[in-house]
Amino acid sequence: MKKRLLATFFLLLIVLVSCNLPLSNDGDGIDLNPFDANTPMPSPTPTITPTPQPETRILLGEKDILSGDYDAALNEFWLARSQSTDPEIIAIAQLGVGRILLLQKDYRGAVDQLTWLLTNFAEGDTRNRAYFFIAKAYEGLGEYRLAADAYQNYLNALPGPLDSEIREMQGDALMQAGDYAAAKNIYLLAVEKALPEKAETISIKVARAASAAGDDADAISRYLALYESSSTDYIKAQVNLLLGQIYLKLNMPEQAYARFQDSVIQYPIYYDTFSGLVALVEANQPVDSLMRGIVDYYAGSYGQAVSAFDNYMNQYPDHDGTPHYYKALSLWKMGDYTGEIAEWDQLINEHPTDQYLAQAYLEKSSSQWRYLEDYEGASNTLLQYVARYPDAPKSANYLFTAGSIYEIGGYLTKAAETWQRVFNEYPSSDESYEAMFRSGIVTYRLQNFQDAQIIFQRLLVLANSTEEQAATNFWVAKCLEKQNKNNEAITYFQQAASADPTGYYSIRAEEVLAGQNPFPASQSIDLSIDLEGTREDADDWLRSTFNIDPAIDLKTVSDLASNPLFQRGELYWQLGMRDQARTEFENLRNELKGDALNTYRLMNHMVDLGFYQTAALASRQILDMVGLSPATMLDSAPKYLSYIRYGIFYRDIVVAASNEHNIDPLLLFSIIRQESLFDASIASTAGARGLMQITDDTGEYIASNFNWPENFTVDDLDRPLINIRLGAHYLKMWIDKYNGSIPSALSSYNAGDGNNLVWWELAGGDPDLLLEVIRFDETRDYIRYIAENYAVYKSLYTHP
């Protein structure tokens, strides 16, 4: 009977919702349909089904948010809200609807849905968190006063460890609203609870608000106090600029110019100093020509910098090498490479003991070969330095670099000879072993296979690491193959394969012995692991390995809940601020080094929240405590830890992309692990974004080429659903271009196709030689690391 009533309820619910009629829960007075006649229904409107249960739909919606599938998430939250009679489920689902609309930048829709939640629920943490999200929606609408009020409501309802940060947001909203006096008071409250590293930045906001409110005397007092107390140069440069601007407003130019001059002399590298310099110049104030040039240089005003340095050198004939140094760099920035080299020559010839002397040789050499294609001249520049200063700290490195330039220019014999000089003349240098190894590679390329073999065998005796042993054995074998000594070659390939089992050269040796090209496709892949099902063995292993009392709880975060870093990270996560949450959790992970128990607890929690990078690093942290490398991990560590360290997160998206583009899914997992370690919102210094690290311009190109997704914006690269599919499409383009060569495709994916074409030609189609002729260490290592990841993934996720 109960089942029949439940079925009847769901049927009635479907009919009513389909008709868009209001519902009541017969007791709480909660309107179960927030979409009234004045509120547009979110799109897409779902087809409601009674299964799965609303609680499950909430989890699915959260998973869809993590994957960046906002339409699917909205669908799940709407279904959960519509199907449930549990007020808490309804509140959670309704908050989810508001969050999704906010992510989709439908700010008015978000306000409407979140307002419904606040109106229909009188209490509860879920309801109160809506204040924060509605504040963000009001900011998106430019309604800053309402945003500030919403932040205040949030703080009243849920005070906590992020009060200072929320107060700062509230103060920013009040500044935008033009209520400067109120903003100042809010910033003062923020400073009271601010972390030490954030207090100075907020203190500047206090002073700026005071000045904007008309209280310049208070602002000046605060700036002066901050200048005296701060130990941070960029804060002092900023304070000097802001003080100077107030002094000018108050018709106190002498005090203003003193502040600007102070920054020019002491803090020349900051843009705020440049702004002060502009004011000095416009006021015809005398400025030291050298410092003016340096400030101009760091601000990107290179032409003005050159003029300033010329003026300084004319005014002070007995100057040191500093103006030549910065003038040369300015000319380089301007693309005047001939003028730059001439300036380096002046520094070298006229200031032979100057602090910038060694750098002058290196910079001159770099421009000679990079821009003027004078490879011999560039190498000779560095060889001159070595000849003049053989005992200088830079000499070994410069000799090594000279060999590299010869190799780039195609002077292979000279490259080999120069690298051998490093080995012979600076045997204890850091560059010694690598120089001799590269000499062997170049000798191999010259087809002097016996000489190359001798070089590698000589290195084999000196190899210190398992990686070096594997590499030298591998190349001895390659040389023997070229001499048709195949039986001997097999022996060395076998030695290479056993030297460093999870390292690149050992992996590649195994492939050669099996007659395979690099990155052979996986066979019998099994991605149907039950991560939670392997956890009990890991619990037992942890207790045994680290002598943890059986009574101690491993299933919850336990003591971590009281850690301030954990509390802040947890709250950031609840508020949808994943980047800030990741920072807190990463700080906590580093704090827990040596604490296996709490690192394990943190790792499990990070998997639950989708912070897979921190989870993987925590897994490694635990394994490092007992000295388990990737090789020994596979045999000695519990599978649970291995599955997290080498995860198959975002599995459904990766598998779909691999099927669509006919790419091994384990290769895609290997690339994602190397690119981002499964952190979907990570960004590189070069501007690459997301799981597969795609730059904005590349993303636009791929989306155009792929004709997907519709209405693409570069912010979509932060969404795994889009990033993975675009990245797979881009990789497939290169795989097809190079007739299935994975190393070539990876090289183009990482460094661009123009570079790869050169390297492919130099390698003569030999995939092993390709890796050695790649001139970017980052790209070379990138391919090696992906190959190593790929081997581990195969060990974990394939059947023999």
Separation between Cα atoms, residue 473 and residue 453, nearest integer Å: 10
Do residues 175 and 164 lie in contact, with contact meaning Cβ atoms separated by under 8 Å? no
Residue 566 CB partners (closer than 8 Å, separation 6+): 557, 560, 584, 585, 588, 602
Separation between Cα atoms, residue 285 and residue 790, nearest integer Å: 63
Q: What is the DSSP letter of 243?
A: H
Question: In this structure, is the dihedral angle defined by the CA atoms of residues 768, 772, 773 and 774, taken in order, positive or negative?
Answer: positive
Output helix, strand, coil percentages for the chain, rounded to the nearest 5.
Answer: 70, 0, 25
Q: What is the largest CA-CA distance in the chain?
A: 103
Q: What DSSP assignment string belongs to 127-186? A: HHHHHHHHHHHHHHHT-HHHHHHHHHHHHHH---TTHHHHHHHHHHHHHHHT-HHHHHHH
Considering only CA atoms, which of 255, 298, 299, 292 is closest in space to residue 277?
A: 292
Q: Which helix (DSSP H) or strand (DSSP E) does residue 298 occupy?
A: helix 289-299
Separation between Cα atoms, residue 747 and residue 749, nearest integer Å: 5
Structure tokens at 690: 């997301």
Q: Which of 62, 165, 570, 675 is catalytic?
A: 675
Separation between Cα atoms, residue 56 and residue 47, nearest integer Å: 17
In this structure, what are the phi and psi dihedrals at residue 466, rounded to the nearest 5 degrees? Answer: -65, -30
Separation between Cα atoms, residue 720 and residue 653, nearest integer Å: 8
Structure tokens at 219: 């602002």
Considering only CA atoms, which of 799, 239, 152 is closest in space to residue 522?
A: 799
Q: Bridge-partner residues for 683, per DSSP?
A: 689
Tokens 């070096």 -> residue: 468
Separation between Cα atoms, residue 711 and residue 109, nearest integer Å: 20
675 counts as catalytic: yes
Separation between Cα atoms, residue 180 and residue 182, nearest integer Å: 5
Please report how the helices 375-388 and 395-409 are oriented relative to each other, as an axis angle in degrees rounded to 10.
160
Do residues 162 and 153 lie in contact, with contact meaning Cβ atoms separated by under 8 Å? no
Q: What DSSP assignment string belongs to 702-731? A: HHHHHT-STT--GGGGGSHHHHHHHHHHHH
CA 134 to chain centre: 29
Do residues 274 and 301 lie in contact, with contact meaning Cβ atoms separated by under 8 Å? yes
For the chain, the straight-line distance linking the first and the last C-alpha, in angstroms and rounded, comes to 52
Q: Cα angle at 353 between 352 and 357, to 5 degrees? A: 70
Q: Bridge-partner residues for 689, per DSSP?
A: 683, 694
Structure tokens at 779: 């790209």
Structure tokens at 339: 């003028």
Residue 350 CB partners (closer than 8 Å, separation 6+): 321, 324
Cα distances (angstroms) measured from residue 739 to each of 261, 744, 762, 765: 62, 9, 17, 11
* Dihedral angle of Cα 669, 673, 676, 681, to the nearest 10 degrees: 50
Do residues 614 and 602 lie in contact, with contact meaning Cβ atoms separated by under 8 Å? yes
11: three-class secondary structure by DSSP: helix
Considering only CA atoms, which of 671, 665, 662 is closest in space to residue 693?
A: 671
Residues carrying an active site annotation: 675
